[in-house]
Amino acid sequence: MERVNLKNICYILTYYFLFNVLVWLTHLFFISVFTFFHFILDHPINVIENWIYHNGWEVITITKFLSLFIILKFVNLKNSSKEPIRDMIVNGFIYPKKEIFVVITFLITSYIFLGRPHLINNSTVNLGNISISFVCFLLFFLIDVFVLNSLDRIYPVKSKLILIKTFLCPIIFMVFTKFSFGLILGVNSSNMTIFGNEIHFLIYIHFFFILFLEYLEGTNWSYSLLYLMLFASPLNTLFGLDPVWGENFTVYKMHKKITIVEVLALFFVGAVYLFMKKNKKQELNYL
């Protein structure tokens, strides 16, 4: 059984790595095509950079959706279900426990206390930018969750080896995010967040925590959606932590810089709390 679990983990990591390679190639293709047409129209380089910057989230989301569609076509060849995507969505929804709401509330209040955000008078803020940033940032993570959930159903792992996925997949996610979307994330120095170049570590922490929730509660996408909707996406959109647009279209701005060490400490407390609550419930059920 342990051999099967190890083999399945290798399949999951391999397929997920290939998915990210596909995202990288697809994104490179789209950027090349857009740039080519701009050059045909004899647009200067700054016009091209501005177009890539202002349409960055849309390009990223289209790229990931197309890559999701392609990779699932291959992954689901081994799925016996006639409607694997529907089954994954339906069976992947579970009702969240109150503990996750406690942790999300803790994280939100801690960020507000540490960063001391203040409302800014930003004339560039509009509902369109806020909506695009919120939805696209959510899909940015959720698409990868769907890929991994689909793989989990075909290559189940029934041991603590699942922790390998919890630690390694966010690394793959972070590295390919840096290289795949570098043309967007680094196109303009004015789109830096309060974390600067450390924003990639925050992306890792977000995805690690999402997979940690799955490790505790089983394969599902509802916990990921809840975490992204109530915490990660609002933090990204409203408080100037957008990795594409930075603080340019934000509503609030952090008065004090929050360090990655402080962020790690907050998530560590949240993870320990969830782990202890789960163990306590298991002990009560055993008794």
- Give pLDDT tens digits for 69-83: 999 888 887 777 778
Residue 36, φ and ψ in degrees, nearest 5? -60, -45
Distance (Å, rounded) from C-alpha 106 to C-alpha 269?
9
- What pTM was computed for the model? 0.90
> Residues with Cβ < 8 Å from 8, sequence gap 6 or more?
155, 156, 157
pLDDT for the residue numbered 32: 86
pLDDT tens for the chain, 287 residues long, are: 667 788 899 999 999 999 999 999 998 888 888 888 877 877 777 877 788 888 889 999 999 999 999 998 888 877 777 787 888 888 889 889 999 999 999 999 998 888 888 787 765 567 888 899 999 999 999 999 999 999 998 998 887 888 899 999 999 999 888 877 764 555 444 555 666 677 888 899 999 999 999 999 888 999 999 999 999 999 888 888 888 887 777 888 777 778 888 999 999 999 999 999 888 877 666 65
Contact 210, 145 (CB under 8 A): yes
User: What does the block give as tokens for 216?
Assistant: 């505790």
User: What does the block give as tokens for 228?
Assistant: 């992204």
